[in-house]
Amino acid sequence: MPLIATPLGLGALRLYYRWLERREWTESRRVGFQGESREQWYADLWREAAAELSAGFTALPSGFGEVRLGDRLTRVYQQMVMLDDPVTLKLAGHKPIVHHLLAAAGLPVPAYREFRWNALAPAAAFLSEQQAPCVVKPAAGTGAGRGVTTHVRCTRDLALAAARAAAHGRRLVIERQVPGESYRLLYLDGVLLDAVRRRPPGVLGDGTSTVRALIARENGRRSGRAGRAVVDVIPVDLDCRLTLEAAGHSLRSVPAAGCRVVVRGVSNHGSEEDTEGVREELGSALIDQGARAAAALGVRLAGVDVITPDVAAPLEAAGGVVNEVNTTPGLHFHYQVRNPAARTRVAVAILRTLLELPAPAAPRDLPGRRTLAAR
C-alpha cells in the first residue's frame, strides 16, 4: 500500500483538496463562471417563460425570483423550483440509497461499493475484482460532478480520488465505469420533457500548443460567454489528469492539428458544443425506464442520467445503466445545445405546472423554439 493510501497520507491529501476546491471556486466566480452571470441568465429564462404564460416576473435579491399570475404565486432560484419536498431532495442526493431503490425497481445500476474515505481496503478489493476503470465520488451531498474522479485504475489513483472526494464527505462510493455516452432525460410528473446527450469536454489540437495551453484557451473563450450563457471552467484536476493518462496523453502533450482530445471523464463541464438535443432518438423502452427511475424515488422534476451505448434500446440490452436521478437539474443544458432546432422550452412546461395551469390544447411547449440561448 503506497504511503498516500495510509490514514496520515490520506488526511494530508484531503486537506490539500479542500484548499484546492475553495481556490478553484473563488477563481471561477472571479472570471464570471458563477454568481451574478448565472443568476442573470436564469432570471431571463424565468422572465421569458412567465411572459409566455401571461404571468409577471419580479426579480428578488440574491438571485431569487417570483412569478405571479392573478392570485397564483411561485418562487424560483436559478434551476430550483417549488416542487419536490426536502426529504425527497435529501434522499435523491444519497447515491447508495438511490442505487438500492433503482435496483429494487428492476433498473440496471453500476456495480458499486460504499466505503469510508480513510479505510480503502473495501474499495481496493472492489477495484481489483472489476479489472476495469472505476469512478470514485462522494456518497452524498454533492452535485454537478464535484469531487468525482473517473478512470481510477490502481491503488495510487484510488487514494488520490478518495482524498479528493473526501473534501465533500466521509462516506464515498466506488463504481465500475460503464462504457457509453451520458444522457440527461428530464421528466416532470413522469412525462418526458426533453433529452440531451452530454459529451465530456475536449480541446482541439493545433499542432503547436500543449493540452494545458489548449484548456486555458478554451476557458478564455468560455469566460467571454459568461453572462450570455451558463458556462463552467474546465478544471485541471485529478479527473483531467487521469482522463488524459487513460488515453495516452498528458498536459504536456501537443495534439496534432484537428485532433480532439477529451480532457475530462465527467460530462458536467461540457459546453454548448458538447451538448446535443436527442429527444427524438430515444426508444420507448428507455423513456419508460427513465420515468420508472423518477417514480422509484418519488421525484416530480427529475433529471435522470443514464449511460448507454444506444438510446434506441432498453438499458439491459445495450449494457447501459441509470447513473443518477437529479432533483434540481440544470435547465440550461436543454437550451444551450449545438443543434438549436432540437431546443425545447422546458421552463414553460415547468412554470405551467408550478402555477397549476391547464395543459395547452396543442403541444406548444414541447418541442419549441426560443431565443434566450442564442443571446
Asked whether the predicted pLDDT for residue 373 surpasses 70, the reply is no
Q: What is the pLDDT of residues 79-89, one digit of tens each?
A: 999 999 999 99
Of the options 3.30.1490.20, 2.60.40.1180, 3.40.50.1000, 3.40.50.300, the CATH number for the domain spanning 1-30+111-177: 3.30.1490.20
Q: Which residues contact 219 (CB under 8 A, 6 or more apart)?
A: 31, 233, 234
Q: What is the pLDDT of residues 40-70, one digit of tens each?
A: 889 999 999 999 999 999 999 989 999 999 9
Residue ranges, CATH 3.30.470.20, the chain: 46-110+178-199+270-369
As a whole number, mean pLDDT of residues 242-258 equals 96
CATH 3.30.470.20 describes domain 46-110+178-199+270-369: yes
CA-nearest of 16, 297, 333 to 198 is 333
Give the model's pLDDT for residue 145.
Answer: 73
Proportion of the chain above pLDDT 90, given as a percent? 70
Residue ranges, CATH 3.30.1490.20, the chain: 1-30+111-177
pTM for this prediction? 0.88
As a whole number, mean pLDDT of residues 267-280 equals 86
